[in-house]
Amino acid sequence: MNYEELLDTADQLDLAVKEQPLTVHDGLIRGRRIAIRKSIETQAEKSCVL
């Protein structure tokens, strides 16, 4: 799946996904919220994190 498909799936599962300026981790999850580091350059890397 590509990044856009993963975002659609997360939305269907009622998960909130946002890109944030994280400094230490590529991604974090807390409850139904997922944060992905905003400065990741490629969609492939973001897909792996998500």
Q: Judging by beta carbons within 10 Å of its beta carbon (0-12, 13-18, 19+), is residue 16 exposed, middle or buried?
A: exposed
Each of the 50 residues of the chain gets a pLDDT tens digit; together they read 899 999 999 999 999 999 999 999 999 999 999 999 999 999 999 999 99
Give the separation between CA 7 and CA 16, rounded to whole angstroms.
9
Give the separation between CA 32 and CA 30, rounded to whole angstroms.
6
Neighbours of 15 (CB within 10 A): 15
* Whole-number pLDDT of residue 1: 87
Structural domain total, the chain: 1
* Whole-number pLDDT of residue 43: 93
- Domain span including residue 20: 3-49
